[in-house]
Amino acid sequence: MKSVYEDVIKRDPNQPEFHQAVEEVLDSLSPVIKLHPEYLPVVRSIVEAERIIQFKVPWYDDNGVLHVNRGFRIQMNSAIGPYKGGLRFHHSVNQSILKFLAFEQVFKNSLTGLPMGGGKGGSDFNPKGKSDQEVMRFCQSFMMELFRHIGENLDVPAGDIGVGGREIGYLFGMYKKLANEFTGILTGKGPSYGGSLIRPEATGYGLVYFAKEMLSTKNKSFEGAKCSISGSGNVAQFAAEKVIDLGGKVVTMSDSSGWIYDPAGIDREKLAWIMDLKNIHRGRISEYADKFTGSSFTKSEPEPSLNGLWAVNVDVALPCATQNEINAEEAKMLAANNVIAVAEGANMPCTPEAVGVFHQYGILFAPGKASNAGGVATSGLEMSQNSLRLSWSREEVDDRLQKIMIDIHKNAFDTAKKYGLPGDYVAGANIAGFLKVAEAMTAQGLI
Ligand code: NDP
Ligand code: 2IT
C-alpha cells in the first residue's frame, strides 16, 4: 500500500488535496488487502483517473473584455455505472482539487447503492460579482467543449460549489442545442424541465438524516441539540432547515468572508431571510448581523479558516463549506466543548489531524463520502425519473432519500465493526464503498 501511495506522489507531486484523499482511503484499505490480497492490483488501478479532460473556456464580460478560464472533467471510474459527479466553479479549482473530489465520488456513489461511477469537473471561473448575462455566456462557452465528452450513458454532471440551479439551466440549454436532443444529461435541473423534486434539499437533508442515525447509536437525537453549521450555500441551508425540523437549534453559519453567531438560534424565518439573501440577492452573510439584533459577525482570514466558529459550544457540528476548514486545533475546541457528533456536509472539510482528534476523544465522526451522499443519491433518482419519463412526488423522493441514508449508515457502521474498527465510519465507508467497485473492476478484467 505504501508503494501505491509513493507512486501517486511521484506521478503528480503537486496535488496535495488528491494525495490527502488517497492516503486516507489507502489507510482504511489495509485490513481489506490482508484478507483479499487479490485486490491489490485494483488498488493500484483505482487511484488513476480513467480520463482527464482539460479545455479552454473563453468568454466576454459585459464590457466586451475577453476572459480565458480553464475547464476540466475528471472521469475517474466507470466500473459500476456512468461517471457521475458535480461541477465546481471557484477561483481555487485545479486538477488536484478536482481529482480529490472525483476520487471521493467513486466511493460515495458506490455507497448509495445506485449504478453510478465517479467523476468531477469545473472551472477556475469565479462567479462572484458576475452578472447573470456573464454567468450565462461563461456556461455556454464551457458547455460548447464539455458537450462532446458527456452523455446520459457516459457522464452526467451536476452542481457543486458555485454551480446551482441557475448555472445548471444555462448549461442544460446549451447542451440541448448542441446535441439536438432532450436528455437527462445533467442533474439538479429545474422541475419544469426534468429536475427531481427534493434534489436541491437532498444533500443537506441527507446529511441530517445520517447524523440522526449516528446520534441514535448513543441514544441521542436532534431534539434540543445545539448545532454549528459552516457555509450558507446549498448544503448548509438545507442542513439548517432539517435540523430545525427535527427540533434542533442552529447557532452559526458562514461564508468566505466570515461567520455569524446567533445565540437565540436561526429559526425558520431567519433562515428564509438567509436563503433570499444568498440565492436571490447573492449578498454576504455579514448582513445577517445588521438585520437581527443579538447576533454577531466575525470576519475570517485567510480562507477557509473561520477564526472561532468551531469554538462555539455545540452538541453537533456540520461543516458544509469546503475542504480542510477544520484543523486539529479547531477539532480540539469542539472536543473541549464535548461535541457529540461531527458530520461532514462538505467534501473533506476536516483535515486528517482533525479526524484523528475526533477518534481520540470518542466523538462520532462521519466522513463526507457517507454523510453527504444524499445529494448524488437523489441525482441518481433524478436519472431514474428521466429514464422513466416520470416525476415522483416530494414524499416519494424524500422517502427514498431517507432509506438510502439509513442504509449507508448501516453499511458503514456494520462494515467498520466487521473489520474490527467499531464506530470508525471512515474505515467503514471506505471499505464498503471500495468492495463493490473492486468486485466490478475485477469482473471486468481491470482494463
Ligand atoms: P455553494 O456554492 O452553494 O456554497 C458554498 C458555501 O461555502 C458558501 O457559503 C461559500 O461562501 C462557502 N465557501 C466556499 N468556499 C469557501 C472557502 N474557500 N472558504 C470559506 N468559505 C467557503 O456550494 P454547496 O453548498 O453546494 O457545497 C458546499 C460543500 O458541499 C462543498 O464541499 C461541496 O463539494 C459539498 N457537496 C455539495 C453537494 C451538492 O449537492 N451541492 C453534494 C455533496 C457535497 P462564499 O459564497 O463566500 O464563497
Ligand atoms: O459532491 C457531490 O456529491 C456533489 N457535488 C453532487 C454530485 C451529483 O452528481 O449530484
Does residue 294 belong to any structural domain of this protein? yes
CB 282 within 8 A of CB 314: no
Q: Render pLDDT for 157-207 as a digit per residue (tens, 0 to 9).
A: 999 999 999 999 999 999 999 999 999 999 999 999 999 999 999 999 999
Does residue 126 belong to any structural domain of this protein? yes
CATH number of the domain at 66, please.
3.40.50.10860
CB 302 within 8 A of CB 325: no
Dihedral angle of Cα 274, 279, 283, 285, to the nearest 10 degrees:
30
Amino acid at 166: R
Q: In the structure grid, which three cell numbers stand for residue 27, read together?
A: 489507510
Of all residues in the chain, the percent with pLDDT exceeding 70 is: 100
CATH number of the domain at 361, please.
3.40.50.720
3-state percent breakdown (helix, strand, coil) of the chain, nearest 5: 50, 15, 35
pLDDT-based confidence at residue 303 (cuts at 50, 70, 90) = low
199: Cβ below 6 Å to ligand 2? no
Does residue 109 belong to any structural domain of this protein? yes
Read out DSSP for 171-213?
Answer: HHHHHHHHHTS----SSS--GGGTPPTTHHHHHHHHHHHHHHH
Over its C-alpha atoms, the chain yields an Rg (Å, rounded) of 21
- Single residue among 135, 155, 183 that ends a domain in this structure: 183
Residues 290 and 240 in one domain: yes
120 catalytic residue (yes or no): yes
85: Cβ below 6 Å to ligand 2? yes
**What three-state secondary structure class fits 34?**
helix
Which atom of ligand 2 is closest in space to residue 159's alpha carbon? 5
What is the whole-number distance in angstroms between the Cα of residue 160 and the centre of ligand 2?
6
- Single residue among 333, 348, 366 that ends a domain in this structure: 366
Give the Cα separation of 246 and 263 in Å (integer): 18
What's the confidence (pLDDT) of residue 304? 67
375: Cβ below 6 Å to ligand 2? yes
Residue for cell digits 488513476? 48
The residue segments making up the domain with residue 127 are: 49-183
Total domain count, the chain: 2
Residues 351 and 216 in one domain: yes
300: Cβ below 6 Å to ligand 2? no
pLDDT over 70 (residue 14): yes
What's the confidence (pLDDT) of residue 302? 73
Minimum-distance ligand to the CA of 234?
1
- Over residues 131-147, the mean pLDDT reads 98
Residues 165 and 253 in one domain: no
Minimum-distance ligand to the CA of 206?
1
Give the Cα separation of 73 and 149 in Å (integer): 8
187: Cβ below 6 Å to ligand 2? yes
Q: What are phi and psi of 57, to 5 degrees?
A: -125, 90
Q: Model-level pTM?
A: 0.98
Q: Render pLDDT for 337-396 as a digit per residue (tens, 0 to 9).
A: 999 999 999 999 999 999 999 999 999 999 999 999 999 999 999 999 999 999 999 999
Buried/exposed 243-254: b ≥16 CB within 10 Å, e otherwise: bbebebbbbbbb
Residues 237 and 163 in one domain: no
Residues 235 and 348 in one domain: yes
Residue nearest to atom 9 of ligand 2 (CA): 85
Read out DSSP for 273-327?
Answer: HHHIIIIIS---TTHHHHHSTT-EEEE--STT--TTGGGS--SEEEE-S-TT-B-
Instruction: For Cα atoms 189, 193, 197, give the angle at the middle one, nearest 5 degrees.
Output: 55
pLDDT-based confidence at residue 307 (cuts at 50, 70, 90) = confident
The residue annotated as part of the active site, out of 120, 130, 278, 332, is 120
